[in-house]
């Protein structure tokens, strides 16, 4: 299929593009490079533009014969969404509305949307099923929940077909070492721990060890980006006009902050210094997916299960690219 990836120069988007291309799809990337990396987009396939430029979106979709969109372009810093919600509602909500309306104009009626476990807030029951109440505790989670709702209404009224994929903690890197994780600023646990192994940071700060978990640190469900990418391709094949899929994407296996750090020590062979500090506001103690619906609906099976193979994959990228894509400040 001819697929347009908004945010296809970003972390998850670039890996989806990589897997799509490997599976014979025709990939185009639409990205304003505000957070993405030129080198992460497939050569000759990047259109630089902002989601608010509806005319450009329509032009790209029509001229490239786009049949479906995968929408990764979003701001995703939970803390920043609290201090600057306007930025998040503008880009994640208004920008996505602009995209959906451009799709209508161009006659493109399929979208795979990057949603998040942050739409659940602090879940009552873990592992989390799709039936769990969606009650975000930050603006970032709300922007994604609002767009799930908008897509349901567009499906009903305009015949849009969509898949809202609720990611747990995306991690790891492409198996050929060509692309990986490079955020600026970096806030995610695994790359920060690996920065300590690389000597780029003195220590890793553990945000709280007094949570109601076995070792007192927060538990998350780390899901490899290639597994996420596979699920996107399978979801694309299952989308039907006028209907939506809502699926959790996780492995169902949780790892605590302490377990992640320990796995990083074993994989890198480095003695990684860690220090416990106060809790980070807004961190739920435990987020683990019940992803049985995605398995059943898509016939999807994550290949990376357990924290060690995921850390090994991430380490391969970080060790070979200690400065990421090396385009900071450009
Ligand atoms: N953590 C630390 N020290 C650090 C960084 C993180 O202890 O220096 C802890 C966090 O407190 C958390 C865990 O490591 O318990 C994972 O933190 P990340 O920042 O890597 O990931 P989050 O679980 O906070 O965030 C992820 C996605 C978000 C999404 C969110 C939903 O990155 O986009 O899950 O809760 F919104």
CATH of the domain at 295: 3.90.25.10
Q: Work out how many domains the chain is built from and give that number.
A: 2
**Chosen domain end from 230, 249, 268:** 249
Are residue 150 and residue 106 in the same domain, yes or no?
yes
Q: 60 C-alpha to center of ligand 1: Å? A: 35
pLDDT greater than 60 at residue 286:
yes
Is pLDDT at 330 greater than 70 in this prediction?
no
| DSSP E strand boundaries for the chain | 2-6, 26-31, 46-48, 68-71, 110-116, 161-167, 169-171, 204-207, 219-220, 222-224, 244-249, 255-256, 274-277, 286-287
Measured between alpha carbons, how far is 266 from 222 in angstroms, rounded to an integer? Answer: 17
Q: Is residue 179 part of a domain?
A: no
- What CATH number does the domain containing 52 carry? 3.40.50.720
Residue 24 included in any domain: yes
| Coil, strand or helix at 300 | coil
CB of 257 closer than 6 angstroms to any ligand 1 atom: yes
- Residue 182 maps to a domain: no
Residues 240 and 263 in one domain: no
- Strand arrangement of the beta sheet that strand 255-256 belongs to: 255-256, 219-220, 286-287
Q: Which residues are catalytic?
A: 140
Whether 298 is in the pocket of ligand 1, judged by its Cβ within 6 Å, is no
pLDDT at position 329 over 80: no
pLDDT in tens, 40-97: 999 999 999 999 999 999 999 999 999 999 999 999 999 999 999 999 999 999 999 9
Residues 88 and 201 in one domain: no
Query: Domain for residue 115, yes or no?
Result: yes
Domain that holds residue 139: 2-168+222-249
Same domain, 232 and 194: no
- Quick: pLDDT tens for 238-285: 999 999 999 999 999 999 999 999 999 999 999 999 999 999 988 999
What are the tens digits of pLDDT across the range 172-212? 999 999 999 999 999 999 999 999 999 999 999 999 999 99
Instruction: State whether 266 and 117 are in the same domain.
Output: no
Whether 230 and 288 share a structural domain: no
Q: What is the pTM of this model?
A: 0.97
Determine how many CB atoms are found less than 10 A away from the CB of residue 264.
Answer: 26
Classify residue 183: in a domain, yes or no.
Answer: no
**Same domain? 50 vs 121:** yes
Residue that finishes a domain, picked among 231, 249, 267:
249
Give domain status of residue 173, yes or no. Answer: no
Nearest CA residue ID for atom 5, ligand 1: 189
Residues 121-171 pLDDT 10s: 999 999 999 999 999 999 999 999 999 999 999 999 999 999 999 999 999
Residue 148 lies in a domain: yes
Query: Which atom belonging to ligand 1 lies closest to the Cα atom of 280?
Result: 11
Instruction: Using the structure block, give the residue that is written with the tokens 């600023």.
Output: 185
Same domain, 295 and 162: no
Q: Please check whether residue 283 is in contact with residue 256, taking contact to mean a CB–CB distance below 8 angstroms.
A: no
In a domain, 126, yes or no: yes
Q: Is there a single domain that holds both residue 109 and residue 258?
A: no
Same domain assignment for residues 62 and 120? yes
> Any idea which residue has 């505000």 for tokens?
34
Same domain, 98 and 140: yes
Domain check: are 162 and 267 in the same one? Answer: no
Q: How far is CA 71 from CA 10, 51, 102, 164, 206, in A?
A: 11, 10, 13, 10, 32
């Amino acid at each position: 299929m001819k697929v347009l990836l908004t945010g296809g120069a970003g972390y998850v988007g670039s890996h989806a593009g990589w897997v799509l291309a490997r599976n014979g799809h025709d990939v185009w990337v639409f990205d304003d490079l505000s957070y993405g990396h030129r080198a992460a987009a497939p050569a000759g396939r990047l259109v630089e533009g902002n989601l608010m430029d509806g005319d450009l979106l329509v032009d790209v979709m029509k001229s490239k014969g786009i049949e479906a969109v995968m929408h990764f372009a979003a701001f995703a810093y939970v803390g920043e969404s609290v201090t600057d919600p306007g930025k998040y509602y503008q880009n994640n909500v208004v920008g996505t509305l602009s995209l959906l309306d451009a799709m209508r104009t161009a006659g493109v009626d399929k979208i795979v949307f990057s949603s998040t476990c942050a739409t659940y807030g602090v879940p009552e029951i873990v592992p989390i099923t799709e039936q769990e109440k969606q009650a975000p505790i930050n603006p970032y989670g709300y922007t994604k929940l609002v767009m799930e709702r908008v897509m349901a209404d567009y499906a009903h009224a305009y015949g849009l077909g969509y898949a809202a994929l609720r990611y747990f903690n995306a991690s790891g890197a492409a198996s050929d070492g060509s692309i990986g994780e490079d955020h600026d600023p970096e806030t995610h646990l695994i790359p920060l721990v690996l920065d300590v192994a690389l000597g780029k940071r003195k220590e890793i700060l553990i945000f709280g060890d007094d949570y109601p978990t076995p070792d007192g640190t927060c538990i998350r469900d780390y899901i490899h980006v290639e597994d996420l990418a596979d699920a996107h391709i399978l979801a694309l094949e299952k989308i039907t006009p006028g209907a939506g899929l809502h699926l959790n994407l996780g492995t169902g296996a949780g790892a605590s902050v302490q377990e992640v750090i320990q796995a990083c020590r074993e994989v890198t062979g480095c003695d990684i210094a860690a220090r416990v500090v106060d809790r980070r506001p807004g961190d739920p103690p435990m987020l683990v997916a019940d992803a049985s619906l995605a398995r059943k609906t898509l016939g999807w099976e994550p290949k990376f299960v357990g924290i060690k193979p995921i850390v090994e994959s991430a380490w391969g990228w970080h060790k070979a690219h200690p400065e990421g894509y090396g385009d900071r400040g450009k």
